[in-house]
Amino acid sequence: MAQAPKEQVVQLYQGSKRIHPKLAKGRFANLRILAIVATQLFFYGMPWINWSGRQAVWFDIPGRHFYIFGMVLSPGDLIYLAGLLMISAFGLFWWTTIAGRLWCGYACPQTVYTEIMLWIDHLVEGDRNKRLKLDKSPWNFTKIRIKATKYLLIFAVAAWTGITFVGWFVPIRTVVADIFTLNWAALSTATLFTAAFYGFMTWFFGHIMREQVCKHMCPYARFQSAMFDQDTLVISYDPARGEPRGARKKNASKEETQLGDCINCTMCVQVCPVGIDIRDGLQYECIGCAACIDACDEIMDKMNYPRGLIRYTTEAALNKQYPEAEIKKRLLRPKVVGYGAILAAVCCLLVVGLFTRDIVSIDIIKDRGVMARENRQGMLENLYNLRISNSSETEQVVTAEVSGFNTIQLNGLDPQGISVPPGATITVPVQVATYPEYAGRGSHPIEFTFYYQDKGDDSTRRTLVEKASFIGE
């Protein structure tokens, strides 16, 4: 009787193994350290800088104002945020077209926090081999002590990151003072939740998820290839020089071994934070950290081979379509120039817009409850609310006049002007009146002209014209 075929279990899910990369040393590792120090000095340090008696950069969401040094932005200035987003997007396109995933490798918060957590791993548990050994060893007092120290440090970094993040939105000195004096009642639920959540995410993404975020969650990894072309600088292994790979004695001649320059030491794989082998070609998982370049250069130095078996190069140069020396010339290609031009234009518009914007903005809101009414002088009157926002650091004095009919009056506003404190928004009800013979049935265009200046400084006087409509009988 024929035997039934053996049942075979096919696993559709493959769990990922924890990667313990070796720390690379070299010029690109130094650049990464520099980038991490610079970005983190900015992130952790900026909320502590004061300017004119308050936090220099403070995104005061409940107060609906963003303070950036001497500039106060209100909800009406959201257009500048759109400009900033456009600059970020085009900046990313531009850099990616020129040099691939520079952002990922050097400045992305995911890479930066993963790297910081790896530094802690390295500091407490030692280099790759020691970490692998420790993970495999049974639990004992030493292992518990080492792991506890590591998690204490990770917790400290994550907690401080969460507190710092909140400090961009709530004055950080107050938050830190309240936390360290255990004055929990003074901290709002939103503050506590945001700090705890951001701290948790720092730990979760930086320590637990690590390269999995870049491999499986980040959309940029997927669409970056659309911005690549054959002249984009990417980190590549040179198979023409490296193959056939193989181990050999240090001073063995090429004629003797018949091998390429790759000694198959796997150092480029051991330092890779995403656990790939660059020798398999360009892969979407590669975050462009250049650790493999440093690792391979070190090996090339030891073997007395020229550096650059793994290097920044372009696909076309690697395929010998032009010599490597020509790579620089290819920088000025239409796509790069196009992205660069758009980027420069948006930057200019943003800077000009920010420095020439009206520091006082006024919304004229028609009182819909009363369309038109007759006042004591027998004039026809419309009611308006003037919502005046002062986006500057100085008190502004606002006066106004109105035009549109042969005879027209503006009532309710102090002729000496109304004072608007720095960063404040106030609402002032006013009445506009004219004689009925000028304003027949329907809507009539009128114009408000506002004058505003720093209190007591006529030289700062500026004009703002706003249109409105007057409803006749």
- Determine if 117 is a binding residue for ligand SF4 (CB under 6 A): no
The residues, ordered by sequence, that sit 6+ positions from 444 with a Cβ below 8 Å of its Cβ are 404, 405, 469, 470, 471, 472
Residue nearer to ligand SF4 on the CB measure, 192 or 218:
218
335 is written with which tokens? Answer: 């796509």
- Determine if 290 is a binding residue for ligand SF4 (CB under 6 A): yes
Q: Which stretch binds ligand SF4 (CB under 6 A): 182-190, 275-283, 333-341, 460-468?
A: 275-283
Smallest separation (angstroms) from ligand SF4 to the CB of 167: 32
Strands across the sheet with 443-454, in order? Answer: 418-420, 396-403, 443-454, 462-471
195 is written with which tokens? Answer: 């700090």
- Determine if 309 is a binding residue for ligand SF4 (CB under 6 A): yes
Smallest separation (angstroms) from ligand SF4 to the CB of 101: 8
- Determine if 118 is a binding residue for ligand SF4 (CB under 6 A): no
- Among the listed residues 129, 266, 375, 407, the single contact to ligand SF4 using CB under 6 A: 266
Q: Which stretch binds ligand SF4 (CB under 6 A): 69-77, 200-208, 258-266, 347-355?
A: 258-266
Helix 128-136 vs helix 109-125: crossing angle, to nearest 10 = 70
- Determine if 418 is a binding residue for ligand SF4 (CB under 6 A): no
Tell me how far apart the alpha carbons of residues 118 and 23 are, in angstroms, rounded to a whole number.
Answer: 8
Q: Is 42 helix (H, G, I), strand (E, B) or coil?
A: helix
302 is written with which tokens? Answer: 């030891």
- Which residue pairs from 142-151 have beta carbons closer than 8 angstroms and sit at least 24 positions apart in sequence? 149/124, 150/120, 150/121, 150/124, 150/125
Enumerate residues 213-252 that contact ligand SF4 by CB under 6 A.
235, 237, 242, 245
Are 347 and 87 contacting, i.e. CB atoms less than 8 angstroms apart? yes
Q: Which stretch binds ligand SF4 (CB under 6 A): 72-80, 251-259, 283-291, 388-396?
A: 283-291
- Determine if 167 is a binding residue for ligand SF4 (CB under 6 A): no
Smallest separation (angstroms) from ligand SF4 to the CB of 236: 10
Residue nearer to ligand SF4 on the CB measure, 238 or 381:
238
Instruction: Give the closest residue to 464 by CA, choosing from 392, 358, 390.
Output: 358
- Determine if 157 is a binding residue for ligand SF4 (CB under 6 A): no
Tell me how far apart the alpha carbons of residues 332 and 353 are, in angstroms, rounded to a whole number.
Answer: 29
- Among the listed residues 292, 383, 413, 439, the single contact to ligand SF4 using CB under 6 A: 292
Tell me how far apart the alpha carbons of residues 276 and 287 are, in angstroms, rounded to a whole number.
Answer: 10
Smallest separation (angstroms) from ligand SF4 to the CB of 299: 5
Enumerate residues 52-111 that contact ligand SF4 by CB under 6 A.
none
Tell me how far apart the alpha carbons of residues 191 and 179 are, in angstroms, rounded to a whole number.
Answer: 11
- Determine if 360 is a binding residue for ligand SF4 (CB under 6 A): no
- Determine if 397 is a binding residue for ligand SF4 (CB under 6 A): no
Q: Dihedrals φ, ψ of 420, to 5°?
A: -120, 115
Tell me how far apart the alpha carbons of residues 69 and 65 are, in angstroms, rounded to a whole number.
Answer: 12
Q: Which stretch binds ligand SF4 (CB under 6 A): 76-84, 289-297, 373-381, 411-419?
A: 289-297
Ordered alpha helix ranges (H), 100-238:
102-106, 109-125, 128-136, 141-167, 172-180, 189-203, 211-212, 219-223
- Among the listed residues 310, 343, 359, 362, the single contact to ligand SF4 using CB under 6 A: 310
Smallest separation (angstroms) from ligand SF4 to the CB of 272: 3
> Beta strand pairing status for 71-73 and 65-68?
antiparallel
Smallest separation (angstroms) from ligand SF4 to the CB of 315: 15
- Among the listed residues 134, 154, 287, 346, the single contact to ligand SF4 using CB under 6 A: 287
Tell me how far apart the alpha carbons of residues 144 and 141 are, in angstroms, rounded to a whole number.
Answer: 5
- Among the listed residues 149, 264, 409, 419, the single contact to ligand SF4 using CB under 6 A: 264
How many residues form the binding site for ligand SF4 (CB under 6 A)? Answer: 30
User: Where do contacts with ligand SF4 occur on this chain (CB under 6 A)?
Assistant: 235, 237, 242, 245, 262-268, 271-274, 276, 278-279, 286-292, 295-296, 299, 309-310
